[in-house]
Amino acid sequence: MASIQPSRQTQDPPIQALFMFETVTLGHANVVTGQMEHKIEMPRFGLGVWQMSEGGECRNAVLHAIQSGYRLIDTARAYSNETETGEAIRESGIPRDEIFVVTKLRRTHAVSYESALEHCRSSLEMLGLDNLDLYLVHAPPEDIEARASVWKGMEECLARGWTRAIGVSNYGAHHLDDMRAYATILPSVNQVELHPWNQRPALRAATEGIGAKVMAYSPLARGHKLDCGSLSQISDSVDCTPAQAAIKWVYDTGSITIPKSSNPVRIDENLASLSIDLSGTEKSFARMDEVYVSGWNPTAEP
């Protein structure tokens, strides 16, 4: 059995439920001093809620996940379900500070300092929360000239206490490197596509190189590869489902892992993947990398 131990190291209030999974310490490296600032703890496993757009679908999935023990929810303005996410969190009865909420500044809104602030406020209103735990720029702003001012807006959201941490998503190594010239503090997280078919060692290293944690989206490659023969051989050998083997591989990279499911049985199946021991399968997984992109790939943009 892989050990799932608490690893809380800061002075945050105790979050009992997080002890089901490992947590990770997020911080923001100060560009000038190199010091890590604003340290907080984040669960390393959670529910992604993209493509839950039927009325009630997101609410039901989030509620079921929280009741099953999930304590991290990854939503975004672009998913059009921040309101249902907030409703489910309240309905769960679990104290707010025991659930880690991530949302994202939509790319079309990532145009200026003011827009970052305005849309952080509207996400808070839709979620019905006083503050976010992590606010991400969903993808590098298309207007390269706007990237610095958008990040300044994110830093201001953090300074005002609207979010406990800020980060980016879909930033390539060159986007991260560029941030050193315009950021005061560097992102705490880079959320990127990561799964056995796209293992991204260089991008993971670049993310860690600026002091950020990798948050892995689409750990199942959006379900595109669940009939992969190599995966089935591995899952048979360790007596789990193919989805569980893929999720656990991602989790074992040390990344924050957020599979999506609207199906209560699969939500539980995915959580149970954390107890699977993949020892001895490392070489088989290493051979599966085919740099497969399941959707968009802004990391490759200028």
Ligand X SMILES: NC(=O)c1ccc[n+]([C@@H]2O[C@H](COP(=O)([O-])OP(=O)(O)OC[C@H]3O[C@@H](n4cnc5c(N)ncnc54)[C@H](OP(=O)(O)O)[C@@H]3O)[C@@H](O)[C@H]2O)c1
Q: Could you list the active site residues?
A: 79
Beta pairing class for 23-29 and 36-43: antiparallel
Residues in the chain: 302
- Cα gap 41→192, rounded to integer Å: 20
- Quick one: tokens of 77? 């303005």
Comparison of 40 and 246: residue with beta carbon closer to ligand X: 246
CB of 58 to ligand X, least distance (A): 10
Q: In the window 255-274, what residues touch ligand X (CB under 6 A)?
A: 258-263, 266, 269-270
Q: Does 223 bind ligand X (CB under 6 A)?
A: yes
From residue 93 to residue 132, the character string flagging contacts with ligand X as x (rule: CB under 6 A) and all else as - is ----------------------------------------
Comparison of 223 and 254: residue with beta carbon closer to ligand X: 223
Identify the three-state secondary structure at position 193: strand
Side chain identity, residue 122: S
CB of 195 to ligand X, least distance (A): 7
CB of 300 to ligand X, least distance (A): 13
Q: Does 285 bind ligand X (CB under 6 A)?
A: no
Q: Does 221 bind ligand X (CB under 6 A)?
A: yes
Q: Does 142 bind ligand X (CB under 6 A)?
A: no
Stretch that binds ligand X, among 31-39, 151-159, 160-168, 215-223 (CB under 6 A): 215-223
Sole binder of ligand X in the list 23, 81, 169, 257 (CB under 6 A)? 169
- Cα gap 122→177, rounded to integer Å: 30
How many beta carbons lie within 10 A of that of residue 270, not counting itself? 28
Strands laid side by side in the 47-48 sheet: 47-48, 72-74, 100-105, 134-137, 166-169, 189-193, 213-217, 256-257
Number of H helices, E strands in the chain: 10, 10
How many beta carbons lie within 10 A of that of residue 162, not counting itself? 20
Count the residues of the shown chain that bind ligand X, applying the rule CB under 6 A.
27
Q: Does 50 bind ligand X (CB under 6 A)?
A: yes
Footprint of ligand X (CB under 6 A): 48-51, 74, 138, 169-170, 191, 217-223, 226, 243, 258-263, 266, 269-270
